Structure 1
Amino acid sequence: MPKHILIENNGDEIPSESDETLLESLHRAGYKMRVSCRNGVCEICEVKLLEGEIKQRYPELYLSVDSVQTTRSAPSVLACTCKPLSDVRVRIEGLKSPGELSVKKLLCDIKAFEKLNHDVYRIRLQMPATASLSAEFFAGQYLDIFLPDGKQASFSIGSAPDTGRDIELHIRHMPESEMSNAIIGHLKSEKTVEIELPKGDCYLQAHKLKPDTRLILAAASTGFAQVKSVVEHLLANQFGNPIYIYWGACVEEDMYLEKLPMQWAAEHPNVHFEPIVSEPENSPGWTGRTGLLPDAVLEDFADFENVEIFASGSPGMVYALLDACEPRGFDEANMHSDVFAYAPRPKS
């Protein structure tokens, strides 16, 4: 009869088949943990046993723990040689859930530095080719750039994970900001830059989307970088569900690369693109849609059944969009944005 392993880290429960070690059960379920020798010598795969009965092959050990609430007082066992004799509850430091990626700090080559409009630059980086120094990310995640003095700043990744080692960033230069000047100066003049990735819980995996999902991708300003990563990932994986892109800017000159989403819409019937300018009085040549992004979404959607929204912009824009959509039946759980992590609303 199979035993069960309750993982205290996240509350997940997985089965452990007869005669399987803890490590074998975890790997079969898609989890990753630190491991080396796999015979009990290096002790890298240490696990805290909070509850249950185990038998360890090497070093030879039998343990039965009624219940331990803190890891400090919990005995340690080795996942590679330890087998559950009953249901067990464990805590494992550094355990990676299925699909969870490792965060790495890398030194990347700066391959290109290009001005896209009056204040936005496109930077192309290339990650190291060595497998041990490579990193993965999901569409929609961001990275941190580190300057030589230790200062850091976060930027959305503007390329899809399907493009291999190449990374694209869209960075707005704000001359009044000392940090912005330092970032632009370094990327413009140096050959390499240190980054850390992946970061952020607002991401998308094409294979996990339901067949009836409608996607709204809402961006303001350089939030388009996140949208670009997501759309290119979806198209690369032949995602055929409706994709609605809303890109808001104050004035027309703040737009950049707008011909790219126009091309997506022209070549893919499931892609729809709506650029919106909120200050048409300051954009004399603009003939497109005007107003606020949340209003445009409400004009186009009578209901939000099977709709997921990915929003990239200021907290004001993201929460305004959420507040506009909820009265129409939209479920907040279906909105995804990094804003919810770095600028959460105060709990009432």
Structure 2
Amino acid sequence: MSFKITIQPSGHTFPAAADDSILEGALAHGLLLPYSCRNGACGVCKGRILAGNVDYGEYQDTTLTHAEKAAGMALFCCAKPLSDLVIESHEVSRAQEIPVKMLPCRVEKMQKVADDVMVLWLKLPANERLQFLAGQYIDILQKDDKPRSFSLANAPHDDGLLELHVRHIPGGTFTEQVFTRMRERDILRIKGPLGTFFLREDNDRPIIFVASGTGFAPVKAIIEHALKIGFQREMHFYWGVRKVSDLYMLDKIGEWEKLGIRFTPVVSDEAWHGRTGFVHDAVLQDFSDLSAYAVYACGAPVMVQAAHRDFSAQRGLQDDAFFSDMFTFAPKQ
């Protein structure tokens, strides 16, 4: 059974299954309500039930008092609909509205997906969740006080674990640790979410994603979020790598292609059956006019800078339609 939930004052609506919390239903349909712990302990998701009935679920009495319940308040991470609902809640629409946290986490799983790429899945404490927009990044906090920045590769609706794609940089303190000494169940400290590289859902332009190397990670998060919310845009994904073996998670990309994402891998340092050269040149070859498009570029600074320069000068891309995140070996500012 599914119920219709209406959020005020925005007027946004979404369906929620009877066994899903109000927050889970909202996140599944791309509507970001404030939240943190997702287990009834912190109170960040507290809002008002204006019409309808809910099962309040399990929560801490100090977080939602009897007086608050009598006044119509509920914790949306715990409350489940028993009927159609009208609720009152703020909606998060900008990165600046999401609180930045410092949290411990545990390395839950590690998987080497390419010669020099390790995927880490990090688990937060049971009473914590990290609220973020698809495409944002976190800092790994090190004892030398120099944070290492990594994009989140999972979408917000799939936040049970945080997914990072780490490229091995010879001599890099943290990446050497990941590839030689790190083990599952190791403890790390993180800070986030950070950054302004995320999907602009109110922009109706068709989208071209351009990534180099592990710039794939935030693009993955954005595409998975877009597909989850039924984002109706033409979407192209160009991924530039040095070697064919650098292309990983191709089975997942194949699933995206079946759903309409147009994928173009570009290999720079090897001969193969597909496109070769620089990834942004492949976009220039395929599009004579980018004035009606939005471009999301992520990866090496030389690629991002060349894409911005050439797409604007040669193909008419508008400055306000170019969004980027440059991967450097120093903390992001």
TM-score tier after normalising by the smaller chain length = 0.5 to 0.7
The 2-side partners of 1:340 and 1:151 are apart by: 16
1:136 and 1:161 in contact (8 A); partners too: yes
Q: Which SS does the other structure have where 2:289 is aligned?
A: coil
TM (norm. structure 2) is 0.66
Q: How does 1:83-162 map to 2 (within 5 A)?
A: 99=94, 100-130=97-127, 133-162=128-157
Q: Which SS does the other structure have where 2:256 is aligned?
A: helix
Q: Are positions 1:335 and 2:322 aligned together?
A: yes
Q: Which SS does the other structure have where 2:223 is aligned?
A: helix
1:273 is matched with: 263
The 2-side partners of 1:175 and 1:260 are apart by: 28
Q: Which amino acid aligns with 1:219?
A: A
Q: 1:137 to 1:205 in 2, by over 3 A?
A: farther
Using the TM superposition, give the Cα deviation of residue 129 of structure 1 relative to its aligned residue in structure 2, in angstroms.
3.1
Q: Which SS does the other structure have where 1:312 is aligned?
A: strand
Q: Which SS does the other structure have where 1:280 is aligned?
A: coil
Q: How does 1:209-288 map to 2 (within 5 A)?
A: 209-210=203-204, 213-265=205-257, 267-269=258-260, 271-281=261-271, 286-288=272-274
Q: 1:159 to 1:97 in 2, by over 3 A?
A: closer
Q: How does 1:17-36 map to 2 (within 5 A)?
A: none
Superposed CA RMSD: 2.9
Using the TM superposition, give the Cα deviation of residue 325 of structure 1 relative to its aligned residue in structure 2, in angstroms.
1.1
Out of 290, 293, 297, the residue aligned to residue 311 of structure 1 is: 297
Q: 1:150 to 1:246 in 2, by over 3 A?
A: same
Q: Which SS does the other structure have where 1:209 is aligned?
A: coil
Using the TM superposition, give the Cα deviation of residue 161 of structure 1 relative to its aligned residue in structure 2, in angstroms.
0.9
Using the TM superposition, give the Cα deviation of residue 247 of structure 1 relative to its aligned residue in structure 2, in angstroms.
0.1
Using the TM superposition, give the Cα deviation of residue 155 of structure 1 relative to its aligned residue in structure 2, in angstroms.
0.5
The 1-side partners of 2:234 and 2:126 are apart by: 36
Give unpaired runs (5+ residues) of structure 1: 1-29, 32-95, 344-348
Q: Deviations for 1:259-298, whole angstroms, at most 9, x for unmatched residues?
A: 3212210x212x10000001224xxxx2111121121101
1:138 and 1:205 in contact (8 A); partners too: no
Using the TM superposition, give the Cα deviation of residue 248 of structure 1 relative to its aligned residue in structure 2, in angstroms.
0.2
The 2-side partners of 1:175 and 1:248 are apart by: 21
Out of 276, 287, 291, the residue aligned to residue 301 of structure 1 is: 287
The 2-side partners of 1:150 and 1:260 are apart by: 36
Q: Which amino acid aligns with 1:119?
A: D
Q: 1:98 to 1:222 in 2, by over 3 A?
A: closer
2:76 is matched with: none
Using the TM superposition, give the Cα deviation of residue 246 of structure 1 relative to its aligned residue in structure 2, in angstroms.
0.3
The 1-side partners of 2:210 and 2:134 are apart by: 15
Using the TM superposition, give the Cα deviation of residue 315 of structure 1 relative to its aligned residue in structure 2, in angstroms.
1.3
TM (norm. structure 1) is 0.63
1:156 and 1:225 in contact (8 A); partners too: yes
Q: 1:309 to 1:193 in 2, by over 3 A?
A: same
Using the TM superposition, give the Cα deviation of residue 140 of structure 1 relative to its aligned residue in structure 2, in angstroms.
0.6
Using the TM superposition, give the Cα deviation of residue 251 of structure 1 relative to its aligned residue in structure 2, in angstroms.
1.5
The 2-side partners of 1:249 and 1:341 are apart by: 16
* Count of equivalent residues: 242
1:139 and 1:205 in contact (8 A); partners too: no
Identical pairs, percent:
34
1:66 is matched with: none
Structure with the greater alpha carbon radius of gyration: 1
Using the TM superposition, give the Cα deviation of residue 194 of structure 1 relative to its aligned residue in structure 2, in angstroms.
1.1
The 2-side partners of 1:342 and 1:198 are apart by: 19
Give unpaired runs (5+ residues) of structure 2: 1-32, 35-90
Q: Which amino acid aligns with 1:240?
A: Q
Q: Which amino acid aligns with 1:200?
A: G
Q: Which moved more, 1:300-309 or 1:117-126?
A: 300-309
Q: 1:97 to 1:233 in 2, by over 3 A?
A: closer
Q: Which SS does the other structure have where 1:224 is aligned?
A: helix
Using the TM superposition, give the Cα deviation of residue 165 of structure 1 relative to its aligned residue in structure 2, in angstroms.
2.8
Using the TM superposition, give the Cα deviation of residue 138 of structure 1 relative to its aligned residue in structure 2, in angstroms.
0.5
Using the TM superposition, give the Cα deviation of residue 333 of structure 1 relative to its aligned residue in structure 2, in angstroms.
1.8
Looking at both structures, which has the greater relative contact order when contacts are Cα pairs under 8 Å and sequence separation is at least 6? 2
Using the TM superposition, give the Cα deviation of residue 183 of structure 1 relative to its aligned residue in structure 2, in angstroms.
4.3
1:6 is matched with: none
The 1-side partners of 2:223 and 2:254 are apart by: 12
